Amino acid sequence: MLAAMTTRRQIIGVVFLVLIGLGFIGGGVYQIWQQRTGTEAQATVRSCQQARRSFVCRGSWTTGSLLEGGRVVLGIIEGATRDDIDKTIAVRLHGERAYVPSLRVPIIFFVLGAAFLVGGVVSLRQRPRRNA
C-alpha cells in the first residue's frame, strides 16, 4: 500500500514537472508569435521605469495614416530598454502594446521548459520499479 502511494506521488510529481516544462515552452512560442506577427510600425520610446528586476518602457506610435483616420497610441513597448529612450525603433503591434523583436526572452523560456522536461524524464526513470 505504501509503495503504491509513493509511486502515485512520484507520477503526479513527474506530470507536474512536465506540465510546467510545456507551459514554459508554450510561453516561448507565444513570445515569438507576438514579436513576429502583427502590424509593423515604428515606435518612439519616451520613458522607462524600473519594475522589480526589469524595466517597463512606454512610448508612442501611430496606427494607420493620420490623414486617413489613424491615431497616435501611447502604451507599453515590450522589449525596449533604457538605451532606446528618445529613439525610434521597429516594433510589431498587438492591441495597445508594441513588441520589439528579440529572441532573448523566448530562449529563456525554452531553456527553462527543457530543464523541467528533462527533470521530469529523469525523475520517471529513477522511480523504483515494482517486481512482478
Closest alpha carbon to 94 in 30, 6, 35: 35
Name every residue whose Cβ is closer than 8 Å to that of residue 131 and which is 6 or more positions away in sequence.
none
Closest alpha carbon to 61 in 89, 32, 37, 101: 89
Q: Which pLDDT value is given to residue 102?
A: 87
Q: Which pLDDT value is given to residue 2?
A: 44
Q: Which pLDDT value is given to residue 125?
A: 72
Q: pTM higher than 0.85, yes or no?
A: no
Q: Which pLDDT value is given to residue 130?
A: 55
Closest alpha carbon to 99 in 85, 89, 112: 89
Question: pLDDT tens track of the chain, all 132 residues?
Answer: 445 555 788 888 888 999 999 999 999 999 899 888 888 999 999 999 987 877 899 999 988 776 777 788 999 999 899 999 999 999 999 888 899 998 888 999 999 999 999 988 887 777 555 554
